[in-house]
Amino acid sequence: MERAARNETPTGDGDIDPAGTVLSVRDLKVSFALADGTVEAVRGVDFSVASGETVAIVGESGSGKSQTVMALMGLLASNGRASGEALYRGEDLLRLSPRKLNRIRGDKITMIFQEPMSSLDPLYRIGRQIAEPMIFHRGVSARAARARVLELLKLVQIPDAERRIDAYPHELSGGQRQRVMIAMALANDPDILIADEPTTALDVTIQAEMLRLLKELQERLGMAVVFITHDLGIVRRFADRVYVMQAGKVVEEGRVDAIFAAPKDAYTKMLLAAEPEGTKPPVPASAPVVLEGRGVSVSFHIGGGLFSGDPFELKAVDRITLRVRQGQTVGIVGESGSGKSTLGRALLRLIPSRGEIAFEGRDIAGLDLRRERPLRRQMQIVFQDPYGSLSPRLTVGQIVTEGLLVHEPQLGRRERERRAAEALREVQLDPAMQSRYPHEFSGGQRQRIAIARAMILKPRLVVLDEPTSALDRSVQKEIIELLRKLQRDNDLTYLFISHDLAVVRALSDWVMVMKDGKVVEEGPTEEVFAEPAQEYTRRLMAAAFLTQREGEAPAG
């Protein structure tokens, strides 16, 4: 594997000076023609990439960082237009005919995308998908291509490559698929590899492995990497130089260490400071218990239909016991598939479960729909995706007051509007926005609306199901502050579900670590973060804080 890789090392050795610039972009502008006029996504960006270096482009959503590289690759949406100049070895990518551009992209400049699930065609075996660019660009024979594919799969460290080469994408895990994507991108020894948020959709432990792999490959193959991300931790760890983008412009650029040591631009400073901070003091042991679950299990029956084969039972949550006290924030962490969201829904009685669940000492597990309704007032939930959790056909006012219609049907319209205004003010939104529709708001604003919908009922317990995961870091910080304030003001109890350890550490005073439906470790936040007892927890933390400030121990 080593040898094979070395044989293939950089193609560019002969014709360019290793420190020379391979890609230089001048005054790149990208605009989109929309119904309401044109929107300028990128407004004059300059950057350059030297051969073999890692350049990061950092920015929050909407900063135009993805559109910048999409324009280079000729992948803009049909209503998009790019102007400026992007020289790759003397050729202007923006002015090449599609045929000439195709000779370069997928060959000399390749790209990996955020979603490994959707960037592979489910109908073809991965071996064939990786071989395709080789056969297309190099005219390699099928047999030679297969040998090369095998080599590449080993290079990206896919276990059991001989067998995996004939697998279909759905047979691979998310991390493996992303490795396949990388193998595909490496197939023709590119000069430049563009990685557009390649780790965002992956679990932390896999994220860390992936970054390590990319770094290794780059050192071995000597290509330049353009890394697009919103995660400053990754930048700090992996990039040589960084461009910080905001609203379509580069606001700051320079060497990574220099920028992290002394950021000049206010926006960069804000980004750097956007890591969640603070801790939550534990509640006294005498605080009353709000929610108690004993032996809570949730299982899904799969199959068992007439034609769907033998039934089997998937235990998503397996005999979990927990106790949540008044004013407490219990953090539930785990990777995807660990059952943490299912547990949250089971405790709210949104899905059927076995075991005992008691709310304020009263058993609620066996209640029917009608007797359960008053409980809904006391227990609320905020969801992860602020885009999916608000009905697009209702106004903000209608969304926020929906609970009032159920629990206080006697209220008149005026009174409901007053309460909605109050709730919106509580989440720091302008109450005048009541008559607008959700699609007119940003992600952070929508999440505030979702929180207002839960808060208007004055609940005792709120389950927060990854409420910050879909948001930018800076917005995340605001939401965390808001949640803290609401908890203080209303003496709320939170069940905080997240895969983001940094956020959990900042917000909760008790942590439960879940894996495969079971709790592997739990305890006061400080203790768990300072000395994780279980191997799994340690691995999770090592991966999560890999991207944190270097040298700083991940202590509470």
Partner 1 sequence: MSIAEEPVTLQEPAASGRSLWQDALRRLRRNKAAMTSLVVLCVMALASIVGPAFWPHPYDRVYSEYVRVPASLEAYPKEDRIVPEMERSLKRARVAIGEISLKGDTVHATISDEEEIDPRITRYVDRSDLFSNARLAEKTADGKGAVMVADVARLRFIAGTDGNGRDLFARILMAIRISLAIGLLATFVALVIGVAYGATAGYLGGRADNVMMRVVDILYSLPFIFFVILLVVFFGRNFVLMFIAVGAIEWLDMARIVRGQTLTLKRREFVEAAEALGVSDAGIVRRHIIPNVLGPVAVYMTLLVPKVILLESFLSFLGLGVQAPLTSLGVLISEGAKNMQGASWLLIYPSIALALILFSLNFIGDGLRDALDPKDR
- 322-351: which residues touch partner 1 (CB under 8 A)? 345, 348, 350
Angle between helices 174-186 and 204-221 (to 10 degrees): 20
Piece of 57-65, 148-156, 182-190, 285-293 that binds partner 1 (CB under 8 A):
57-65
Looking at residues 198 to 257 of the shown chain, list those that interact with partner 1 (rule: CB under 8 A).
Answer: 200, 230-231, 247-248
Size of the site for partner 1 (CB under 8 A): 71
The two structure tokens encoding residue 4: 């094979």
Q: Tell me how far apart the alpha carbons of residues 252 and 268 are, in angstroms, rounded to a whole number.
A: 7
**Residue from the set 25, 47, 52, 64 that interacts with partner 1 by CB under 8 A:** 64
Looking at residues 285 to 314 of the shown chain, list those that interact with partner 1 (rule: CB under 8 A).
Answer: none
Min dist CB 65 to partner 1, Å, is 7
CB burial of residue 46 (10 Å; 0-12, 13-18, 19+)? middle
Nearest by Cα to 463 from 316, 322, 315: 322
**Residue from the set 25, 50, 65, 145 that interacts with partner 1 by CB under 8 A:** 65
End-to-end CA distance of the chain: give it in Å, rounded.
42
Nearest by Cα to 241 from 251, 229, 226: 226
Residue-wise DSSP of 268-294: HHHHHTTS-----PPPPTTSPEEEEEE
Which residues are paired to 253 by β-bridges? 243
Min dist CB 352 to partner 1, Å, is 12
435 binds partner 1 (CB under 8 A): yes
**Residue from the set 61, 119, 279, 490 that interacts with partner 1 by CB under 8 A:** 61
Pick 88 or 441: Cβ nearer partner 1: 441
Min dist CB 476 to partner 1, Å, is 8
**Residue from the set 15, 36, 160, 310 that interacts with partner 1 by CB under 8 A:** 36
Residue-wise DSSP of 197-214: STTTTS-HHHHHHHHHHH
62 binds partner 1 (CB under 8 A): yes
Nearest by Cα to 276 from 503, 37, 535: 503
The answer to whether residues 356 and 293 touch, using CB atoms and an 8 Å cutoff, is yes
Pick 158 or 544: Cβ nearer partner 1: 544
Looking at residues 178 to 197 of the shown chain, list those that interact with partner 1 (rule: CB under 8 A).
Answer: 197
The answer to whether residues 533 and 512 touch, using CB atoms and an 8 Å cutoff, is no
Min dist CB 379 to partner 1, Å, is 8
Min dist CB 356 to partner 1, Å, is 21
The answer to whether residues 267 and 472 touch, using CB atoms and an 8 Å cutoff, is no
Min dist CB 342 to partner 1, Å, is 13
Min dist CB 185 to partner 1, Å, is 19
Min dist CB 494 to partner 1, Å, is 15
The two structure tokens encoding residue 8: 């293939």
30 binds partner 1 (CB under 8 A): yes
In 116-189, at which residue ranges do the beta strands (DSSP E only) sit? Answer: none
Q: Are strands 362-363 and 354-359 parallel, antiparallel or unpaired?
A: antiparallel
119 binds partner 1 (CB under 8 A): no
Min dist CB 311 to partner 1, Å, is 16
Pick 186 or 429: Cβ nearer partner 1: 429
**Residue from the set 40, 240, 318, 478 that interacts with partner 1 by CB under 8 A:** 40
Looking at residues 129 to 168 of the shown chain, list those that interact with partner 1 (rule: CB under 8 A).
Answer: none
Buried-exposed string 440-450: b where 16+ CB fall within 10 A, e elsewhere: ebebbbbbbbb
Q: Tell me how far apart the alpha carbons of residues 446 and 27 are, in angstroms, rounded to a whole number.
A: 34
Residue 481 CB-half CA count within 13 A? 12
Nearest by Cα to 527 from 499, 556, 497: 556
Q: Tell me how far apart the alpha carbons of residues 185 and 197 are, in angstroms, rounded to a whole number.
A: 15
Looking at residues 71 to 110 of the shown chain, list those that interact with partner 1 (rule: CB under 8 A).
Answer: 80
CB burial of residue 344 (10 Å; 0-12, 13-18, 19+)? buried
Pick 519 or 544: Cβ nearer partner 1: 544
**Residue from the set 28, 41, 187, 343 that interacts with partner 1 by CB under 8 A:** 41
CA distances for 415 relative to 377, 424, 450, angstroms: 18, 14, 20
**Residue from the set 8, 16, 32, 524 that interacts with partner 1 by CB under 8 A:** 32
Looking at residues 372 to 411 of the shown chain, list those that interact with partner 1 (rule: CB under 8 A).
Answer: 372-377, 379-381, 383-385, 387-396, 402-403, 405-407
**Residue from the set 227, 359, 441, 494 that interacts with partner 1 by CB under 8 A:** 441
The two structure tokens encoding residue 288: 């009353």
**Backbone torsion region of residue 247, taken as left when φ is above 0, otherwise alpha when ψ lies between -120 and 50, otherwise beta:** left
Min dist CB 471 to partner 1, Å, is 7
Min dist CB 18 to partner 1, Å, is 32
Piece of 1-9, 154-162, 313-321, 367-375 that binds partner 1 (CB under 8 A):
367-375
Residue 261 CB-half CA count within 13 A? 5
Pick 1 or 406: Cβ nearer partner 1: 406
**What character string, x for contact with partner 1 (CB under 8 A) and - otherwise, covers 455-494?**
--x-----------xxxxx--x------------------
Piece of 36-44, 137-145, 182-190, 207-215 that binds partner 1 (CB under 8 A):
36-44
Helix, strand, or coil here: 112?
strand
The answer to whether residues 140 and 188 touch, using CB atoms and an 8 Å cutoff, is no
39 binds partner 1 (CB under 8 A): yes
Pick 165 or 357: Cβ nearer partner 1: 357
